[in-house]
A and B are shown apart, each in its own frame.
Chain A
Amino acid sequence: MEARPTLSIQRSGAKQLSNMGMSGALSSSLPVLPAPLQETYPKLPDSQHVYMERELVKRPFNHASHLPSDSGVAGHMFSSSPGFSSDLHYSSLLPHEEHSKTSPFISRSSTIQAAFPLTNTSHSISVQSTNSSHYAEENSASWNTDSLPSFLDFPVNTFIESSQVESSGCNTVLPSEEFGKWADQLISDDVANWNELLGDTNVTDLESKMACQVSKPSPNFQAHESQVHQQLPVPSGEIRAIATPTSSANSAPAKPRMRWTPELHEAFVEAVNKLGGSEKATPKGVLKFMKVEGLTIYHVKSHLQKYRTARYRPDSSEGSSEKKLTPIEDMSTLDLKTGIEITEALRLQIEVQKRLHEQLEIQRNLQLRIEEQGRYLQMMFEKQCKPGMDKLKASASTTSQNPPVPSSDAVPDSPAKTELKASQLDHCHGKTGAESVNANTGLEETSWELDGKEKAPEQEAPQDFEPDESSSQPSKRPRTDE
């Protein structure tokens, strides 16, 4: 949703702006694009303070001329890019004079966002208003300018954590220096200078800021996702709209995918049997019988089709991707000896498959833990930023020694401390460069300790991380309610 202000500015108004913006000019040729983007963008809420970093990294994107024209697999992706690039012109239409509102640091982003609807209305981009009706999102107000205040209220507090997280992130070496300068500039500027500051950088900075806001996934979203996840096992039918919880509201009813579970399938089979078998049962009847909330007739229809295929042509459904299998099919001619050989071959096959699966699980767990650790470190940074620099130094060394231990202490504190303290934010970011190096080495040591003992640590590490994870989830949720 935060993408929209950006894109609306980009449009010079001459072109129709699809809700998704990026591929707006191609909306005629690629009508399907708005939909997925519509779904995905709700996932990307604003992290308002991330832009502080972004604008410092000056790497413009070279437009259409350099984009690969097509590649077999990614053809669909790149067909959109030329249009996208060429459409993103900058109009200096942003009424930054609109920032007459008070602009202390905290509400700065609010004012920026406040400016956008005004921009939009002045451009009178009609598409947006139609799309806004589709856009019912759990974490933000709709596009209507009326609801702007709520739009402002919501994100300000909730995404600070993520923004802080990112700003003190792994690659802070380069941006942090410039950020420091920018932050100093920011602090030293008074209200009057805000307009100039913004005016100088013009639309461009705001563009990048908004863009960066867009690109940051929302912890709120994640929290909601995890809520959705955790709610899933409870009801008998485990319904899950496609990736985002909001997409079902966004897109047409037929679009969201159902995640079929064995339990749901059991209910389905029961319904089908009661209705006289897979041939006789109708989707409507099955749907009615199952009485599962959120299940649509489209889901049932497609599932019924799959079911029928699986039942009455088991060879075709299983062998669909194995057309060229070895000829073991002619069983009747095989004598006992060959039968044993075949069984042995199958045993070997199953062994290899088991092995692969085992390794995949291990790998997945490792990956999860690595990310968990990264996230933990970010939280540590953020927490340390608040109290001040001295504590930061001390904690950094503590981190490198024994990161998991203070987790239970750290996390409960963070909800309180992650209330937006913007002044501390830039304060801390200016100095983050050094500490991030410390902490990174700390992370490196510990992560390799863990990874070195691949087999054993399954027991110990999860203990360390689970309290972190479980408490970090609830700590995120209260913030989303704000």
Chain B
Amino acid sequence: MKFGKRLKQQMQQTLPGWRDKFLSYKELKQLVRQISSSPTQSNGSLEYGKAEKEFVYLLNNEIEKFNAFFMEQEEDFVIRHKELQQRIQRVVDIWGQNGSQPSEANYKDVMAKIRKDIVDFHGEMVLLVNYSNVNYTGLAKILKKYDKRTGGLLRLPFIQKVLQQPFFTTDLISKLVKECESTIEAVFPAEDGKKTRQPKQAITVAEEGIFRNTVAALQTMQDIRRGSSTYGHFSLPPLNLPDSDLTQSIQLISPIPII
């Protein structure tokens, strides 16, 4: 139940176009409940076989959904990544590495825009990785539930299959993220003195946008892994964030609902 709620939260807080691309966890859970609560009959095994088939069919549909969405996004990111690189290259060509003479203000504006775009791009990619992970976690959980409720042995082989799916193989995106990070290093002005970034007071992130989503994602991840009631050997340990004060100091204010 906890995961379901968290998932819903994530879905609400995610980018609008992504909301319907997540795992239909609740529905699948209901299905599992149905399957397990149906009366057992003499020809029960047959019914069970059908039920399992349907369950698998639905899961496969979900996976297809993830794959399609993920690869679509990935393609977009590949294109945008290249475009960003080219754009920065053009700027650097015109103005040299450091902002120089011709229309200083203009340069600053352009750079500010570029920085914003890169950071948001980075954030979007990270959110896609998060998307992949959340859905994988959901699948693992629902499979675990299924096995537990029906005594089946679906989980292990099925999850092995999932591990190979495009939506879970996020290596390319991670690589792009890393490249983006190094570009960001280059594009941002050098750190001046001590890192004054440590927020002394709470920072409120009220507006929608990438930043909000990443913060939400991080917090959700923390919550999901806070401690499970059903610890097993397939459970993840609690999240261990190095600089927890960084994220804790960021509060999320729910946006004004737009309906």
Write the residues of chain A forming the contact surface with B, with a CB cutoff of 8 angstroms: 3, 6, 10, 22, 36-37, 39-40, 43-44, 47, 50, 53-62, 66-68, 71-74, 76-78, 80-81, 84-85, 88, 90, 162, 165-167, 169-172, 174-175, 201-205, 207-212, 214-217, 219, 221-222, 225-226, 229, 240, 242-243, 257-262, 265-266, 269, 303, 306-307, 310-311, 314, 317-318, 320-326, 328, 331-332, 339, 342-344, 346-357, 359-361, 363-364, 366-368, 370-371, 373-375, 378, 440, 443-444, 447-448, 451-452, 454
Sorted from nearest, which 9 A-B pairs have the closest CB atoms? A60-B47, A58-B44, A61-B51, A211-B49, A208-B49, A204-B46, A74-B24, A40-B60, A217-B161
Using Cβ atoms and an 8 Å threshold, which residues of chain A touch B75?
A: 258-260, 303, 306
> Which residue of chain A is the closest to B68 with respect to CB atoms?
A257
Chain B nearest Cβ from A392, distance in angstroms: 19
Using Cβ atoms and an 8 Å threshold, which residues of chain A touch B181?
A: 350, 354
Q: Is B20 an interface residue (CB 8 A)?
A: yes
Using Cβ atoms and an 8 Å threshold, which residues of chain B touch A452?
A: 237
| A353 CB contact (under 8 Å) in B67, B126, B155, B207 | B126
Using Cβ atoms and an 8 Å threshold, which residues of chain B touch A210?
A: 49
14 A–B contacts from the bound complex (CB under 8 Å): A54-B52, A57-B48, A62-B38, A171-B147, A202-B43, A211-B52, A214-B53, A215-B52, A242-B64, A262-B172, A325-B208, A332-B105, A343-B188, A344-B196
Chain A nearest Cβ from B183, distance in angstroms: 11
Chain A nearest Cβ from B22, distance in angstroms: 8
| A243 CB contact (under 8 Å) in B119, B150, B165, B247 | B165
| B126 CB contact (under 8 Å) in A167, A343, A357 | A357
Q: Are B197 and A331 in contact (CB under 8 A)?
A: no
Q: Is B156 an interface residue (CB 8 A)?
A: yes
- Decide if the interface of chain A is mainly helix, strand, loop or mixed: helix
Chain B nearest Cβ from A91, distance in angstroms: 12
| A359 CB contact (under 8 Å) in B123, B147, B218 | B218
Q: Is B93 an interface residue (CB 8 A)?
A: no
Chain B nearest Cβ from A455, distance in angstroms: 8
Q: Is B102 an interface residue (CB 8 A)?
A: no
Write the residues of chain B forming the contact surface with A, with a CB cutoff of 8 angstroms: 15-18, 20, 22, 24, 26-28, 30-31, 34-58, 60-64, 67-68, 71-72, 74-76, 78-83, 87, 105, 108-109, 112-113, 115-117, 119-124, 126, 129-130, 133, 136-137, 140, 147-148, 150-161, 163-166, 168-170, 172, 174, 176-177, 181, 184, 188-189, 196-197, 199, 203, 207-211, 214-215, 217-218, 221, 225, 232-234, 236-237, 239-243, 246-247, 250, 255, 258
